[in-house]
């Protein structure tokens, strides 16, 4: 890029900006609050710091911005989808997701690094994270209670549902104590002049980080669908559920349609539809697919 002096500053002095009043009374979707906060675990936090649109016509929610955008594409001709809730449900059912991108959420979140590592895989958000090169990492560590230490599942390699016996849980927490004790060493080495960027490399995965995370509603629903799912790790699920509670209050109609058509919906493959029609077996030797079909049938009460 050449830039610099070869660029002329455009003359904007003659551009007239008309500042028009809102058509009717408007209200703040966050009720005038500076931020909304939900505490997660001992040191974690989900704070909603801003929403677009922040101001909506009195009596409406931020669902309004989705309907407003969708109506541009429908024009004046389609009166039959003119009811707001019906339109939002139609968009959700048919995967017309662009209007959902008209709503954005900015969060401040505090979470352990092992949660942040899973979270950051969602590439569609804008993120600005605390710099452990620039600043000293505070001594906040994730530590489950004795009752919350889970036993490795024998059917799901990535998780655990039941609790482990108390003795082993206490042993696990003592192991975490040992890891946390290294924090004093981190401080000592910083005092001796080791750079922050190197000293941090000895810190454990259960220490907390924090970031600002901005995402549009379409991508946020994708995040929530994956991370509120029982297959996601409980610790990140707790954050996802806190975020869902917040957005539910801002876009209640989208939240309802999300639960109805995505989160609690059952998607069937062609083989599954055939099995359903014929009232017979699923035509596959794949054990995993068969197990998933059994789960789906159970979810549908069959
Ligand atoms: C229960 C669970 C277990 C998991 N286990 C593992 C694991 O063992 N190992 C592992 O590495 N990961 C694992 N993941 C992470 C997973 O593979 C995804 O990286 C993560 O869920 C983000 O999903 P995404 O890419 O759809 O989301 P986002 O990054 O938010 O992207 C949203 C959508 O945008 C599109 N998109 C974004 N970027 C691109 C791109 N560059 N090219 C094309 N399309 C793009 C895609 O359609 C994508 O679905 C796991 C996730 C879950 C929920």
- Residue range 284-302, pLDDT digits in tens: 999 999 999 999 999 898 8
Q: Are residues 50 and 89 in the same domain?
A: yes
Helix or strand holding residue 173 (H, E): helix 166-181
| Pocket flag, ligand 1, residue 195 (CB < 6 Å) | no
d(CA 107, CA 119): 13
* Single residue among 167, 184, 205 that ends a domain in this structure: 205
Give Cα separations from 16 to 8, 9, 10, 12, 19 (angstroms): 20, 17, 14, 9, 9
Ligand 1 atom with the shortest distance to the CA of 123: 29
With pLDDT > 90 as the criterion, what percentage of the chain qualifies? 83
Ligand 1 atom with the shortest distance to the CA of 125: 30
User: pLDDT for 133-175, tens place per residue?
Assistant: 999 999 999 999 988 899 887 776 667 778 899 999 999 999 9
| Pocket flag, ligand 1, residue 215 (CB < 6 Å) | no
| Pocket flag, ligand 1, residue 237 (CB < 6 Å) | no
Q: What are phi and psi of 141, to 5 degrees?
A: -130, 145
What is the CA(272)–ligand 1 centre distance, in A? Answer: 25
Q: Contact 173/156 with Cβ under 8 angstroms?
A: no
pLDDT at 154: 74
pLDDT at 259: 98
User: pLDDT for 214-241, tens place per residue?
Assistant: 999 999 999 999 999 999 999 999 999 9
Residue 12 resides in a domain? no
Domain, as residue range, for 285: 268-302
Output the average pLDDT for the chain.
Answer: 93
Q: Are residues 37 and 78 in the same domain?
A: yes
- What mean pLDDT is predicted for residues 198-204? 96
**CB neighbours of residue 173 within 10 Å:** 15
Residue 10 resides in a domain? no
Q: Are residues 127 and 241 in the same domain?
A: yes
| Pocket flag, ligand 1, residue 226 (CB < 6 Å) | yes
Residue 13 resides in a domain? no
- What mean pLDDT is predicted for residues 254-283? 94
Options 89, 140, 200, 227, the catalytic residue = 227
Does this model's pTM top 0.75?
A: yes
Q: Are residues 82 and 99 in the same domain?
A: yes
Q: What are phi and psi of 150, to 5 degrees?
A: -95, 150
Ligand 1 atom with the shortest distance to the CA of 232: 1
């Amino acid at each position: 890029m050449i830039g610099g002096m070869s660029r002329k500053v455009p003359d904007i002095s003659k551009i007239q900006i008309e500042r028009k009043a809102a058509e009717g009374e408007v209200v703040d979707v966050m009720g005038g609050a500076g931020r909304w906060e939900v505490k997660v675990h001992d040191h974690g936090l989900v704070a909603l710091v801003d929403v677009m649109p922040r101001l909506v016509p009195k009596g409406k929610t931020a669902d309004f911005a989705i309907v407003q955008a969708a109506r541009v594409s429908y024009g004046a001709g389609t009166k039959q989808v003119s009811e707001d809730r019906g339109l939002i449900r139609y968009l959700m059912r048919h995967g017309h997701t662009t209007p959902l991108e008209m709503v954005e959420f900015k969060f401040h979140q505090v979470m352990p690094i092992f949660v942040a590592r899973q979270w950051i895989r969602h590439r569609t958000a804008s993120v600005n994270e605390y710099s452990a090169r620039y600043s000293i990492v505070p001594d906040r560590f994730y530590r489950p209670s004795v009752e919350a230490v889970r036993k490795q599942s024998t059917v799901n390699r990535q998780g655990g549902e039941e609790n482990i016996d108390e003795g082993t849980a206490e042993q696990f927490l003592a192991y975490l104590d040992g890891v946390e004790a290294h924090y004093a060493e981190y401080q000592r080495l910083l005092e001796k002049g080791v750079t922050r960027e190197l000293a941090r490399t000895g810190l454990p995965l259960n220490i907390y980080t924090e970031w600002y995370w901005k995402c549009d509603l379409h991508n946020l629903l994708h995040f929530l669908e994956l991370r509120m799912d029982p297959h996601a790790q409980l610790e990140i699920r707790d954050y996802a559920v806190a975020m869902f509670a917040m957005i539910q209050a801002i876009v209640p109609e989208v939240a309802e349609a999300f639960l109805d058509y995505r989160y609690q919906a059952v998607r069937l493959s062609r083989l599954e539809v055939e099995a359903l029609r014929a009232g017979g077996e699923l035509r596959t030797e794949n054990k995993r697919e068969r197990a998933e079909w059994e789960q789906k049938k159970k979810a549908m009460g069959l």
